[in-house]
Amino acid sequence: MENLGMGFQLMLIGMVTVFMILMIVIYGSKLLISVINKIAPEEVKKEKSNAEDDIPMAILQEAVAQLTGGKGHIVNLTRIK
């Protein structure tokens, strides 16, 4: 019976130790992430201006007008990635 009590005690100590180490890892990594984000923030992507989008649209409209003799028109333009 004494061995069973000693086993439970060792199990409890081991589980508490693992739990504490995991908490240190979790909160330490959260702290590291916040420090890194303050030192080197993520780059913001620049939005394309409408002027850049208008140039290809104008070219496509002119091409469609030439091919269809002025009868065809672009209704919708969707970029496929």
Return all residues near 61 (Cβ < 8 A) that are at least 6 apart: 73, 74
Tell me which H or E stretch contains 16: helix 2-39
For residues 70 and 57, give the distance between their C-alpha atoms in angstroms, rounded to a whole number: 16
Question: What predicted TM-score, i.e. pTM, was given to this entire model?
Answer: 0.49
Tens digit of pLDDT for each residue in 16-59? 999 999 999 999 999 999 999 999 887 777 666 555 566 788 88
Q: Where do we find the tokens 């208008």?
A: 54
For the cut 90, the answer to whether the pLDDT of residue 15 exceeds it is yes
